[in-house]
A and B are shown apart, each in its own frame.
Chain A
């Protein structure tokens, strides 16, 4: 048995091999490296965001790709949002009926559905569907373009890749996520209403009486404000991950995975942030 192999076995036997042992043996070095890595990515993200803002006047470059991206995001997600919103609306209505049973009047079903869907379920569902559906695709697309030198080729043709590739995707996300949120809201509430009619004693009149009695325009705009930021997060994070992808197919796969994970976490943080900031708690 070679010396290196023997050392490796000895390390395993003593429980000192693998990444966890590395952290345990040198936590300060590990934390330092992670802080540097985080600062590097944060700095590069801020730089990219600045590049995007600078590219806004370059409308001639991004107008066509913007229209195409809006169509792609809408088309790619409409069916899945439709089905998931139906299921979510049905589930929310059944659970709300269960929670309110014998504690509140029946029209409360409509009130609760209005608040639950417009404030939370509509925007969050649309965002999470789009993270997986659109975010991963954007990261993989741009990542492939990066590793096959298509982005370099674009630059060699005197194009600014931020104007041509990133800005249209980010703007399309910020426009289309709210549009799809409105669609998810409408489908979810309709599904919830029909489920309530079918499964409980509530009437259409009672359901919409409850719905209208608590409805405020703010509820819809609150969801749409969140949706704009969710759209920005999904597209920006996936563009960032794809644009800076490295190391061939493995790098492209990593970019797609990272974009989904990071965007999902940021969406949940933003969800809490906007709830605290706008709902006054």
Chain B
């Protein structure tokens, strides 16, 4: 699926990866966090190749990551409290009171105070997404990965989620990688944009450079996103 992706991401920046459905954006994101292993090549984090380290070392490195999955991926058998606090209870040795405070802090950031005892089945799609955000930030990660954070949500909830991403990026000063189709919104919050096409990075640059790109494939994607698929020829 990926054929020679070459992408560098600076610390503290927000990078958006765009591209058609099925072009390998999620695969790339999962390779960055080590959930998938590339057939060849390397994933370097501070010079350390994540594809060649031991599993235990990879697990340690993952403590610095938070990931929001496309379908939220909340644990059905756990409450909101259990979902958000799972990593804290396992990886830290602080008291239960401290953990609860931290959970409340995370939930207040996503506007879900008081939802601790609810199960994922009792939440709407937007609420699930916000719990997934709270879970991702609970361990105070250095890197936040978002896989299609607004897919399947109504425009109002999607807008709130985008505001939330922007807020978290500014407030927590993390390095963020956002995989999305939504160029219009993401171009307002991303420092860099990368377009994945047929397994390679077809474009990399600032959002302004993306909008001015001459590459017909990039232009088609940008214009189609703006005016709807198939409208490029008319424009």
- Identify the A interface with B (CB < 8 A): 60-61, 144-145, 148-150, 152-160
CB-CB under 8 A from B139, the residues of chain A are: 157-158
Asked if A148 and B90 sit within 8 Å, CB to CB, the answer is: no
CB-CB under 8 A from A157, the residues of chain B are: 62, 86-87, 90, 135, 139
Given the known A-B contacts A60-B90, A153-B67, A155-B35, are A160 and B59 also in contact in the complex, defined by CB atoms under 8 Å?
A: yes
Q: Give CA–CA (A145, B74) in the complex, Å.
A: 9
Asked if B60 and A158 sit within 8 Å, CB to CB, the answer is: yes
CB distance from A262 to the nearest CB of B (A): 25
CB-CB under 8 A from A160, the residues of chain B are: 55, 59
Secondary structure of the B contact surface, majority rule = mixed
CB distance from B81 to the nearest CB of A (A): 15
Interface residue B119 (Cβ < 8 Å from any Cβ of A): no
- Identify the B interface with A (CB < 8 A): 30, 33-35, 55, 59-60, 62-63, 65-67, 69-71, 73-76, 86-87, 90-91, 135, 139, 145
Asked if A152 and B87 sit within 8 Å, CB to CB, the answer is: no
Given the known A-B contacts A61-B90, A157-B135, are A150 and B59 also in contact in the complex, defined by CB atoms under 8 Å?
A: no
CB-CB under 8 A from B91, the residues of chain A are: 158
Q: Give CA–CA (A153, B135) in the complex, Å.
A: 10
Select one of B55, B60, B67, B71 contacting A156, CB under 8 A.
B67
CB distance from A13 to the nearest CB of B (A): 40
CB-CB under 8 A from B65, the residues of chain A are: 156
User: Can you list 26 contacts pairing A with B, beta carbon distance less than 8 Å?
Assistant: A60-B90, A144-B76, A145-B75, A148-B71, A149-B71, A150-B73, A152-B35, A152-B73, A153-B69, A153-B75, A153-B135, A155-B35, A155-B62, A156-B62, A156-B67, A156-B145, A157-B90, A157-B135, A157-B139, A158-B60, A158-B91, A158-B139, A159-B59, A159-B87, A159-B90, A160-B55
Q: Give CA–CA (A149, B70) in the complex, Å.
A: 9
CB-CB under 8 A from A144, the residues of chain B are: 76
- Return the chain B residue nearest A144 by Cβ: B76
Q: Give CA–CA (A61, B67) in the complex, Å.
A: 21
Q: Give CA–CA (A34, B73) in the complex, Å.
A: 35
Secondary structure of the A contact surface, majority rule = helix
Asked if A156 and B59 sit within 8 Å, CB to CB, the answer is: no
Select one of A60, A153, A158 contacting B73, CB under 8 A.
A153
Asked if B69 and A152 sit within 8 Å, CB to CB, the answer is: yes
Q: Give CA–CA (A148, B33) in the complex, Å.
A: 18
Q: Give CA–CA (A144, B71) in the complex, Å.
A: 13
CB-CB under 8 A from B135, the residues of chain A are: 153, 157
Listed from nearest, the 3 A-B pairs whose CB atoms lie closest are: A153-B73, A149-B73, A158-B62
CB distance from B235 to the nearest CB of A (A): 37
Q: Give CA–CA (A61, B145) in the complex, Å.
A: 25
Asked if A152 and B30 sit within 8 Å, CB to CB, the answer is: yes
CB distance from A11 to the nearest CB of B (A): 34
Q: Give CA–CA (A144, B145) in the complex, Å.
A: 23
In addition to A152-B69, A153-B74, A158-B62, 6 A-B residue pairs with Cβ atoms within 8 Å of each other are A149-B70, A150-B75, A152-B30, A153-B75, A157-B87, A158-B139
Q: Give CA–CA (A218, B90) in the complex, Å.
A: 43
Asked if A150 and B67 sit within 8 Å, CB to CB, the answer is: no
CB distance from B32 to the nearest CB of A (A): 11
Q: Give CA–CA (A150, B132) in the complex, Å.
A: 11
CB-CB under 8 A from A153, the residues of chain B are: 67, 69, 73-75, 135
CB-CB under 8 A from A156, the residues of chain B are: 33, 35, 62, 65-67, 69, 145
Q: Give CA–CA (A159, B65) in the complex, Å.
A: 12
Q: Give CA–CA (A148, B75) in the complex, Å.
A: 9
Select one of B30, B74, B87 contacting A158, CB under 8 A.
B87
CB distance from A143 to the nearest CB of B (A): 13
Q: Give CA–CA (A155, B37) in the complex, Å.
A: 14
**Max count, chain B CB within 10 A of own CB: residue among A60, A144, A153:** A153
CB distance from A51 to the nearest CB of B (A): 9
CB distance from A193 to the nearest CB of B (A): 41
